[in-house]
Amino acid sequence: MGLEDKLPSGILLSTVEGLAGYMRKSSLWPATFGLACCAIEMMALGSAPKHDISRFGMERFSASPRQADLMIVAGRVSQKMAPVLRQIYDQMTAPKWVISMGACASSGGMFNNYAIVQGVDHIVPVDIYLPGCPPRPEQLMDAIIKLHTLIGDTKLGPNREAIIKEVELAAMNAKPTIQMKGLLA
Amino acid sequence: MTTYSDPYASSRETTEGTVFSVTGGDWDSLVSEIGESKEERIIVNMGPQHPSTHGVLRLVLELEGETVTEVRTGIGYLHTGIEKNIEYRNWTQAVTFATRMDYLAPIFNETAYCLAVEKLLGITNDVPERASVIRVMMMELNRISSHMVALGTGALELGAMGPMFFAFRDREIVLDTFEEITGLRMNMAYVRPGGVSQDLPAGMTVKIREVVKTLRKNFEDNAKLLIGNTIWMKRTEGIGYLDLAGCTTLGITGPVLRSAGLPWDLRKMQPYCGYENYEFEVITADTSDVYGRFLVRMAELEQSLRIIEQAADKLDKLEGQPVMVADKKIAWPAQLALGADGLGNSLEHIREIMGTSMESLIHHFKLVTEGFRVPAGQAYAAVESPRGELAAHVVSDGGTRPYRVHFREPSFNNLQSTSAMSEGGMVADIIGAVASIDPVMGGVDR
Amino acid sequence: MSEDQKGMFGSSGTGDTSGYGGLVRTAASTGSTERPYGGYFDDVADDLERAYPDFADAITRVVVDRGELTLHIKKSRLLEVAFILRDKLKFEMCMGVSGVHYPDRTGAELVALYPLLSLTKNQRVRLEVATSELDPHIPSLVEVWAGNNWHERETFDMFGIIFDGHPGLTRILMPDDWDGHPQRKDYPLGGIAVEYKGATTPAPSNRRSYR
């Protein structure tokens, strides 16, 4: 990243963080990655006057990944489409975020078989998982608002490195899901 | 596949010649590299991720200047293995898979599948009339919502953004109706073998008549924008020409066939679900081009509204009739209702199966866990979906799970005509031709 | 057709409704239906016999079941019969190719089905061709109905039936370098076990289920 990474931790950095976060989240441009049924609900969010994504400044879906900030993976990712997905993600310029929209993108959904990648996080790092089959446009809007909060709170510079270390440590020490037996134990 | 160190390198030599990869910011180097070659003919990949190709469709174009000399279509980017998944579910659960195939017209998928299963079960005449009328009404509403997406996205791809907003506004009205009746906006799994899963809520026919009135007024907006619009006509007249001979040999049905002048509509020629009792016209055009198909779709909207009005009248007369087949060993047992903890089995049904009737309890248990058995054989049932003839070919081996279900999707056939429609034309016309076919890649790839 | 089944749950005698014990599923019959077929099926069969003298040799079975006519054809005669059906009997449209895999029928495991539609006469008929897994070749019908191009590619991709004479028989739904033919019965569904906190649910193909 740029100048903001070189600032020392302190009041100046947190002001810059707030400013950068505000500017980044205020007009995210989604990349068109509509695959299946969820794409139609994404289009409904984008162009139906009832759910209006222009309220966030996001109605300009960018076909070119170079100009896009957000990739909303909407729909089931088949084995044939997976390399294409990765290539588009790589072509996006940082900073970039991924919302995995729908059950099929988050985990393979109801299609637990040979043809569908069981979760798009096998291919790209995901920031927000949105369940639903398909999720209503309002649910997608909720995911986008949560993403906005996430982006607004992004730390920069030394703060960011500290957070990354913390998250990594927590992930290394975490119990695997299958061992979290809860009341079953 | 040739190996090379950088997948995003600017150019590499292959047996077919030089392949250039454009990644942005390198226009100058691209021009200087191409400038040396005398080739006028270039191959461009309109890849699976593209805003104008109606889903994950890959078009490989061979261009000579602006003229397209060859179009090759690549599909399979949305292959989900639905047909194989269905073989591991019972006959009723298969509806939830079938419905996600052609995701713009889910009711049609379900109805084609259910008609084929009912043919195998031999209960086609036992499906209650109210269920058939509800199926017809839902199908026509779905036809409207699907045509709205076709018109909106088709216009958007050709550069007109206004119709998209009007189309999606009308689509939202239809989706609200779906939500009131079935609980979901899309992929409802509403039509089940034997009937429909639950009856309409009280007072629904009144709301439907209001919806019809609103839609009839709203359709004027799009009509006024596009019909007779010089720019629209210049971009769509004479484009994507496919005459009757081309249509029949490629197996193309639906608005594309009707735009070539043949009034072939399965609702009239081989009626199902009681379509012979409704008055409507089959719309044709005689220009066989994109403009003709657009006019056909716009006019079909009005015919669908007519059918919905007639269906609402019939529903008023059939008030109180069952919506599932009478044979309790096939009929889906549950009746859903909105309770304190959300949508679930209605309390009367629970009272009945737990308190009064042992048979109901057994039926509910066996039908939900094991499912009904369908006698061995095969059946083929076709419906007229917004894209053409959508058919389910179902093979049963006598068990509780389908042995093989194959869906004959209209988009799969219709998309084969892209080459015939676009070769010899210009690049920009490919978009119009594909938009007029209105393919839904979920159905193409299944 | 097969004999009537008594009771939807398949039980008789013991009253066992568990789905596990002693249930017999009647298989589909393997004989031809007898004349008269009813409806327009007789006309179709007569016209075909008149137009194609080798009718009895090429067509092994004629089945009329559930209101549909199916002609079982020997694969060596498929092209001739298809041309006659298209030109003389006016079945202008072929609705596609549907494949089925019957692993139990040795020698005829892979089946390709062609539903035909006549626009002029408003009739439907179905052609069924069987071939063995060891020699999965069937003549291609692309020159008869051009729309079968992609359908035959899909049937090749999913079942491994090789259509001789097809202009470009490659995989269409799966990636080009995929191994195996997914829709065959011996190809696994390929699902993974779904993990929850403290438990897993096996993939649909591995669960205990009723047959």
How many other C-beta atoms are found inside a 10 Å radius of the C-beta of residue A171?
A: 8
Please state, in angstroms and rounded to a whole number, the distance separating the CA atoms of residues C112 and B102: 24
Tell me the pLDDT band of B111, cut-offs 50, 70 and 90: very high
Q: Which residues of A touch C189 (CB under 8 A)?
A: 112-114
Confirm or deny that A163 is annotated as ligand binding.
no
Predicted local confidence at residue B4, as pLDDT: 44
Statement: residue B147 has pLDDT above 90: yes
Tell me the pLDDT band of C1, cut-offs 50, 70 and 90: very low
Taking residues B87-115, what's their average pLDDT?
91
Residues 172-231 of chain B whose Cβ lies under 8 A from any Cβ of chain C: none
- Answer yes or no: are the C-beta atoms of B397 and C27 closer than 8 Å: yes
Q: Does C23 touch chain B (CB under 8 A)?
A: no
Statement: residue B272 has pLDDT above 80: yes
Predicted local confidence at residue A160, as pLDDT: 80
Please state, in angstroms and rounded to a whole number, the distance separating the CA atoms of residues A76 and A117: 8
Q: Which residues of A touch B164 (CB under 8 A)?
A: 47
Nearest to B43 by CA among B28, B29, B58: B58
A92 half-sphere exposure, CB direction, 13 A CA radius? 26
> Can you tell me whether residue C148 is helix, strand or coil?
helix
Q: Does B373 touch chain C (CB under 8 A)?
A: yes
Predicted local confidence at residue B2, as pLDDT: 42
Mutate to test the interface with A, among C171, C184, C197 (most CBs of A within 10 A): C197
Nearest chain A CA: its distance from C188 CA (Å): 8
pLDDT tens for chain A, 185 residues long, are 566 666 676 777 778 888 888 888 888 888 878 888 888 888 888 888 888 888 888 888 888 888 888 999 998 999 989 998 998 899 888 888 999 999 989 988 888 888 899 989 899 999 999 998 889 899 999 999 999 998 888 877 777 888 888 989 998 888 887 787 777 66
Q: Give residue-wise pLDDT tens across range C37-68.
A: 777 877 887 778 788 777 778 888 888 888 88
**B131 or C7: which leads in pLDDT:** B131
Average pLDDT in chain B: 86
Please state, in angstroms and rounded to a whole number, the distance separating the CA atoms of residues C202 and C194: 6
Predicted local confidence at residue A3, as pLDDT: 67
Beta carbons of C191 and A80 less than 8 Å apart: no
Predicted local confidence at residue A169, as pLDDT: 92
Average pLDDT in chain C: 81
Residues β-bridged to residue A101: A74, A130
Nearest chain B CA: its distance from A66 CA (Å): 7
Nearest chain B CA: its distance from A12 CA (Å): 34
- The percent of residues in chain C predicted with pLDDT above 70, rounded, is 85
Q: Which residues of C touch B391 (CB under 8 A)?
A: 95, 115
CA torsion, points B296, B300, B302, B307, in degrees to nearest 10?
Answer: 160
Beta carbons of B84 and C28 less than 8 Å apart: no
Statement: residue C210 has pLDDT above 70: no
Taking residues B380-393, what's their average pLDDT?
92
Tell me the pLDDT band of B8, cut-offs 50, 70 and 90: low
Please state, in angstroms and rounded to a whole number, the distance separating the CA atoms of residues B316 and B274: 16
Predicted local confidence at residue C2, as pLDDT: 42
Tell me the pLDDT band of B303, cut-offs 50, 70 and 90: very high
Beta carbons of C122 and B269 less than 8 Å apart: yes
Q: Give residue-wise pLDDT tens across range C163-181.
A: 998 988 889 898 888 888 9
- Answer yes or no: are the C-beta atoms of A118 and B80 closer than 8 Å: no
Predicted local confidence at residue A5, as pLDDT: 65
Beta carbons of A113 and C174 less than 8 Å apart: no
Predicted local confidence at residue B6, as pLDDT: 55
Tell me the pLDDT band of C7, cut-offs 50, 70 and 90: very low
- The percent of residues in chain B predicted with pLDDT above 70, rounded, is 93
Beta carbons of C9 and B379 less than 8 Å apart: no
Tell me the pLDDT band of B405, cut-offs 50, 70 and 90: very high
- Give the C-alpha distances (Å, rounded to integers) separating A154 from A10, A28, A83, A142, A171: 15, 15, 29, 19, 19
- Give the C-alpha distances (Å, rounded to integers) separating B441 from A116, B412, C115: 15, 8, 22
Q: Does A16 touch chain B (CB under 8 A)?
A: no
Q: Is the pTM of this model over 0.90?
A: no
Q: Which residues of C touch A108 (CB under 8 A)?
A: 192
Q: Which residues of B touch A114 (CB under 8 A)?
A: 81, 84
Statement: residue B127 has pLDDT above 80: yes
Predicted local confidence at residue B176, as pLDDT: 92
Q: Does B79 touch chain C (CB under 8 A)?
A: yes
Q: Give residue-wise pLDDT tens across range B212-246.
A: 999 999 988 888 888 888 988 888 888 888 888 88
Taking residues B402-424, what's their average pLDDT?
90
Beta carbons of C173 and B75 less than 8 Å apart: yes
Beta carbons of A115 and C174 less than 8 Å apart: yes
Please state, in angstroms and rounded to a whole number, the distance separating the CA atoms of residues A103 and C186: 28
Statement: residue B49 has pLDDT above 90: no
